[in-house]
Copies of this chain bind each other. A is one copy, B any other.
Amino acid sequence: MTRSRVGIVGLGAWGTALAALLARAGHQVCAWTTEAPVLDELRANHTNSKYLPGISLPDSLRATEDAATALAGADFLVWAIPVQVLREVTSRLAPHVAPESVQVSVAKGLELGTHERPSRILQSCLPGRRLAALLGPSHAEEVARGVPTSVAACAEDGDAAEAVQRLFHGDRFRVYTNSDLAGAEYATAHKNEIALAAGIGDGLGFGDNTKGALMARGLAEMSRLGVALGGRQETFFGLTGLGDLVTTSFSRHSRNRHVGEQIGRGRDLQAVLCEMTQVAEGVATSRAALELARSRRVDVPIIEQVVAILHEGKPPRDALLDLLTRDPRPE
């Protein structure tokens, strides 16, 4: 195995889990964060109890608040920060990014206002750098515990996808490649709105039958929208589409499903969001998704109802029953 130098931007749950995975595999990993308590704890105890409680991190994982130290000389940079701050942070750190380094995008969702995908933000802030997105059904907590996981390294540039595949691939973390970067990023973003709807159903006390129907109709909706935006249909039936959708919609680890469940139980959105240490991307992304769908004249009934519930005060039960009581017709 080639030992690589890897910089990790962000020490949330996912950044920390990937940093630990690579450090354990023998790579030289340095993470960057501006959160002083996270840094102090990582250095003192080799844990990150705010974002990844209960996990011992490898001693070899280093961390710093100094961007030059973390980024300079890295072969790979993993951008593990929320999409809504990705442009600002990347612009700020760009001067430290080596021209030859491969960028690994692991952010999910779309940027508000521009509706832009994470990899496009990285490309515009770091022009000319090689890039792949690592996406798929991968809750950080489970990856950190060694649960068997399969993901896709997605890039139009096949060499970049294979380089990222080689970097991350291991016995319990299987990495496939996929050349449909746009489809994978749209699938990853829009599954969050469907997972919110699934969580709302859970909160209302609906069952597995309801969720099965939501998955089938949600995936159809995601793929209609994603194909209209330039993705390929088959990506929606793969790891980054269906795989990520069902994991997010059923897992107790899923933040979007959790927010939906609380809303379904009648709680207030702001109160729920205030309790969370991490971002539920779908809450913000749902509006962008609806705007995108309308601009392309794509029918997205589930996303419409999710936006109505979250942002327009529509009672969750009415919204879900509106979805279910459309006229009977061919599937």
Contacts and interface: CB of A to CB of B under 8 A. Distances in A.
Given A209-B142, A213-B243, A243-B213, A177 B147 contact: no
| Copies of this chain, whole number | 2
A206 B139 CA distance: 12
A219 B242 CA distance: 9
A147 B328 contact: no
Contact of A174 (B147, B152, B241, B328): B328
Contacts of A325: 171, 174
A201 B247 CA distance: 14
A143 interface: yes
A329 interface: yes
A251 interface: yes
A328 B206 contact: no
B215 A246 contact: yes
Contacts of A242: 215-216, 219, 242
A157 interface: no
A200 to B, nearest CB: 12
Interface in A263-286: none
Contact of A209 (B138, B169, B178, B329): B138
Interface in A214-247: 215-217, 219-220, 237-239, 241-247
A182 interface: no
A149 interface: yes
A312 interface: no
Given A142-B209, A208-B247, 14 more contacts: A138-B209, A143-B209, A148-B213, A169-B328, A171-B321, A171-B324, A174-B324, A174-B328, A176-B329, A212-B245, A212-B247, A216-B241, A216-B242, A246-B250
Interface of A: 136-139, 142-143, 145, 147-150, 152, 165, 169, 171-172, 174-179, 201, 206-213, 215-217, 219-220, 237-239, 241-247, 250-251, 253, 320-321, 324-325, 328-331
Among all A-B residue pairs, the 3 with the closest Cβ atoms: A137-B212, A212-B247, A216-B243
19 contacts: A138-B209, A139-B209, A143-B209, A145-B207, A147-B206, A147-B209, A147-B210, A148-B210, A171-B325, A174-B325, A176-B330, A177-B331, A178-B330, A211-B246, A212-B246, A212-B247, A220-B237, A237-B237, A238-B331
